[in-house]
Amino acid sequence: MIKKALRYRYDWSAFVYIAPICIVILVMSVIPIITAFYYSFTHFDGVRTPTFIGLRNYVSLFSDQILRTSIVNTLIYTLITVPLQSVLALFFAYWLSTFRQGRWAQFIRGTLFVPVIASSMVAGIIWRAFMGSEGPLNIVLGWIGIGPVSFMGIELALISTGLVAVWRNVGYFMVIYFAAIMEIPKTLYESAELEGCNFWQKFFYITIPMLRSTTFLIVILGTIWSFQVFDLVFAFTRGGPGFATTTMVMTIYNTSFRQFNLGYASAQAFVLLLFIVAASVIQKIVLNRSGDSTIG
């Protein structure tokens, strides 16, 4: 009886410890999601009482040209940022792991991580000035006879935004890759050296397969961040020129706080949620299959 009573008290004490974070998640995430789902079936301007209108908001999504453009822009932005920042982060992490504790390694790691510390708004403002028509980058390009280049124009604005995002995120993912590489058994590399493997053979046949779970994490995080991008685009291009860099979150923001149509914005937000879930599932399936083929 005493053991059962102690076990009962121990079980409840565990719930007491996790209760605060569960309450935070409930208040900050679960309840807002449920509330937004209800609003997506209403006409709500944020002031008057919501009016239930059924599926009308979701039907309107199919004819929303601005939303369609923002979806395409978000997908292109994701295809620019996620592969590039993942590959660069892996390359820098593997390169730095070859001379791990040297002063230059610490300096390079710190330098690459500095952009992560800066806020996206600050990064967008700085790069907007740097890449402007009269900015330092165009001045340098003019010296070699290339400029001026319209980095903020309709053709290059989205690509420029993606490159700025890569510059800001690559240091964060590099640290994750670096920590994972440090956990790979050194005996694998020593055995490969005895077999005469060079730098690239060790990289492709040992490092990459051993980092499959880390790569999955980085790709998922990068994809979610790309679908949710707002502050960087807002500071860098304001979504322009025209709608050239308008993303899904920026469309939701405009619908909510400029058009004051919170019901329709909630429906748009659930479309974004579906894209994120679908992208995560697809990436998990693809990475699992690639991992199985590697093992086989």
Q: How far is CA 258 from CA 38, 51, 249, in A?
A: 21, 20, 13
Give the torsion sign (CA, 208, 212, 214, 215). Answer: positive
Q: How does 216-226 read in b/e, with b if 16+ C-beta sit within 10 Å?
A: bebbbbbbebb
Nearest C-alpha neighbor of 178 from the set 90, 75, 262, 115: 90
- Which pLDDT tens digits describe the chain residue by residue (296 residues)? 555 555 555 567 777 888 888 899 888 888 988 999 999 999 998 888 889 999 999 999 999 999 999 999 999 999 999 999 999 999 888 888 877 666 777 777 788 888 888 888 888 898 999 888 888 888 888 888 886 888 888 889 999 999 999 999 999 999 999 989 888 888 888 888 888 888 788 888 888 888 988 988 898 899 999 999 999 999 998 888 889 999 999 999 999 988 899 999 999 999 999 988 888 888 778 767 655 544 44
- According to the model, what pLDDT value does residue 71 have? 93
Please state the domain extents for the chain.
63-295
Amino acid at 179: A
Query: What is the CATH architecture assignment of 63-295?
Result: Orthogonal Bundle (1.10)
Give the torsion sign (CA, 141, 243, 120, 89). Answer: negative
- According to the model, what pLDDT value does residue 78 have? 94
Give CA–CA dist 243/216, Å, rounded: 32
Dihedral (Cα; 229, 233, 238, 244), 10-degree rounding: -90
What is the reported pTM?
0.85
Give CA–CA dist 250/182, Å, rounded: 39
Residue 46 corresponds to which tokens in the numbers above? 């944020």
- According to the model, what pLDDT value does residue 39 have? 92
In 10 A of CB 136, how many CB atoms?
11
